[in-house]
Amino acid sequence: MVTVPTATNSTEDGNASPLGIAIVIALLCLCGLVGNGTIIWFLRFGIKKNPYSVYIFNLAIADFLFLLCMFLSSILNRPEFGPWPWHISEIFRRTRHLAYVLGLSLLATISTQRCLSVLFPIWYRCHRPRNLSALVCAVLWALAILENLVAIYFCVVQKENKNSCQKVDLFFMVLIFGVFTPVMCVSGLTLFIKVRRVSRKRQPARLYIIILVTILVFLICALPFAVHWFIIYWLCRRERPNIIFYGVVKIFSCVNSAANPIIYFTVGSQRKKRFHEPLGVTLERAFWDEEMSPAARSTSPTGCVTAFQHRICRWGSVTTL
């Protein structure tokens, strides 16, 4: 049985990060908040929406929420501010976990949807619901909030029963390492093979590159956060935690959330016009989906590319009735 001290005051898990690490985390969070806030504003008001920009918009919100909680924790966790209530610390931690799991689920969804559009292009264009992206994002948000409320109940309200809290975290680990990460890796590998083949003939679409780079950065920088979350935090709970290692893990997780706007800008900008064109134009180019462009679609409501594919779609819809 795992026993956990239940102090009424806490500086997140009873250990404050060194001042240097706290400063680095705060600076990274500020840069990431500005970057993701800019992405949120442009995707909401500045550029034309497409199915993938809806996912990116929600991913930017998740990154913004994660960085905001990390920034507040790095500031309030300092001894100079005095000890703060344990339940506030736990709520901040659980909100970070909500944003983390939500961001991972969105990445897995983006890569999977793109993978389906590559493997089954005709079926994807003919049968994908028009509001699929918005519906999937709403479901992912609802599930993430519901999971977080359950976690807060068992880990904050019922804090005496640590076994229940550990089971909740075990459920999150199954989602992260058993569902979302494998799905993201398999679909990302499929996209990588597609990009390798396409790059021999022509320049691959920017959206492919954005998805692949974002997945790679997540695996390198953000996945250790989940490893520390469960394997180290719970399984090694009786030992004194390594404050430096935990601080480095938090730095890398902040780098992941702060790097996404930089990835969008770098991939979307043209080398000769970089820093000389409006940011909205750069972002619209980065998130442009060739499958939704006039050159790739007909004017038919099915969204088939050619008349031959349109006949295939009609035949498929008849045979499914």
Q: Tell me: the pLDDT tens digits for 172-223?
A: 888 899 999 999 999 999 988 887 887 777 777 788 889 999 999 999 999 9
CATH topology of domain 12-288: Rhopdopsin 7-helix transmembrane proteins (1.20.1070)
Across 15-29, 108-122, 161-175, 285-299, least confident range: 285-299
Q: Which ranges in the chain belong to alpha helices (H)? A: 19-41, 51-76, 86-119, 121-127, 132-152, 162-173, 181-199, 206-217, 223-227, 243-268, 279-286, 307-319
Encoded tokens for 220: 């390198």
Q: For residue 291, is pLDDT > 80?
A: no
Please report the pLDDT score of residue 131 as a whole number: 86
Percentage of residues in the chain having pLDDT higher than 90 = 33
Q: Tell me which residue of 131, 147, 29, 135 sits closest to 97, measured CA to CA.
A: 147
Q: Environment class of residue 2 by beta-carbon count within 10 Å: exposed (0-12), middle (13-18) or buried (19+)?
A: exposed
110 vs 238: CA distance, rounded Å: 39
Which phi-psi region, left, alpha or beta, contains residue 78 (left: φ > 0; alpha: ψ -120 to 50)? beta
| pLDDT tens track for 240-271 | 556 778 888 999 999 999 999 999 998 888 66
Q: Is the pLDDT of residue 31 over 90?
A: yes
Burial 221-244 (b: 16+ CB within 10 A, else e): bbbbbbebbbebbbeeeeeeeeee
| Res. 234 pLDDT band, cuts 50 70 90 | low
Mean of per-residue pLDDT scores for the chain: 79
SS3 9: strand
